[in-house]
Amino acid sequence: MLTDGSTARDALTSLSEEESAFRDAVAAFAEQEVRPRVQEMERATRIDPALLPALFELGLMGIEVPEQYGGAAGSLMMVTLAVEEISRVDASAAIMVDVQNTLVAYPIARYGTDEQRQRFLPRLASKVIGAYALSEAGSGSDAFGLATRAEKHEGGWSLSGRKLWITNGADAGIFVVFATVNPAAGYKGITAFLVERGMSGFTVGKKEDKLGIRASSTTELVFDACIIPAANVLGEVGQGYKIAIETLNGGRIGIGAQMIGVARGALEATIAYVKERTQFGTRLAEFQGIQFQLAQAATELEAARLLVYNAARIRDGGHPFTREAAMAKLFASQVCERVTSLCVELHGGYGYTKDYPVEKFYRDAKIGTIYEGTSNMQLQTIAKLLLK
């Protein structure tokens, strides 16, 4: 009989011994290194620079990167576990890890040339933050309505345009940037480029002042005739849309992991609170009304976790996973909003103050329904595949 909670959860989600050990190591890291920094990072609206070397040293910034390039040669499931455990403590630190692995290192490892892998992956695994630049002011859900233009230039390409909502923008040294080389060709003109901080004509613009994940930098990128060497084209010219779609599909699993981590953190804090808080001479945890709400939240959270883990397993197995990734992100973000909202309510007036952690979890939850494809876009994807 399974009596230990963590052991039971491992059985339900079929974690291997290696995965369980990895998850526990990340959880310990999050408690020891991230949690003491959360409040100050929130106030400063930036990730503590002293935390970054620790993320690299633990191998969290190159989980799927092959060993020959300095990575851990892990799986998306391991990325999922890492993002969940860090999100339970701080969603901002978690999204830095998520973007690094799912949106930057993965497409370079998957589509890059041998020379590009040698040039970029060891740095991403050891010391350099990455960012993914697809969105623009007029191109959000319409992801391929890009205005950023790449024109042929002697020895390469000249990039001009602006990108918006770029996670890790203020911290990154390597950027996966999408631009059109032929607007008349529509999505078939989209091409991916590897851009490095310091390239002439490239600047990082305004940093957004956000509702949640405030320590995570979200910026504008500005390209003014930025010269990109031909060797920095990722994949084939005109095939950038394929790279973007596949990469985002995997990234949505990471966002699902972030959301179940945020919901977990809020729920755990709330369970501890209701065990201590008394009203009418009785602990809140003894009221059946409170018990039932917590039970419902825990059930929905477990269902969301299984959807996320299942999507990661399917992708790691080399099977089509677009529908499962969309379902995982959709449901996990919905559950996270519901659970964190409940947690604020169960704290009463205290939940509306910064003295307790649930208000931050509540603010961090909202982004899950927006970035890497809104909930409506996930519904559209699921419906299209159901009716195909």
Active-site residues, by number, are 372
Matching residue, tokens 């959807």:
307
User: What number of other Cβ atoms are within 10 A of residue 319's Cβ?
Assistant: 9
- CA nearest to 85, candidates 145, 12, 160, 28: 28
Q: Which residue has the tokens 């329904």?
A: 369
Integer angstrom CA distances of residue 313 from 42, 85, 242, 278? 33, 18, 22, 43
Beta bridge partners of 382: none
Instruction: Record the tokens describing residue 312, joined without a space.
Output: 């990661």
**Do 384 and 355 touch, CB atoms closer than 8 A?**
no
Length of the chain: 388
- Residue 324 tokens, joined: 């499962």
Distances in Å between the alpha carbon of 303 and those of 152, 233, 267, 292, 307?
Answer: 49, 40, 15, 17, 6
DSSP 63: S
Identify residue 218 by its one-letter amino acid code.
T
Q: What is the H or E stretch that residue 246 is in?
A: helix 240-276
CA–CA distance, 249 with 347 (Å, rounded to integer): 36
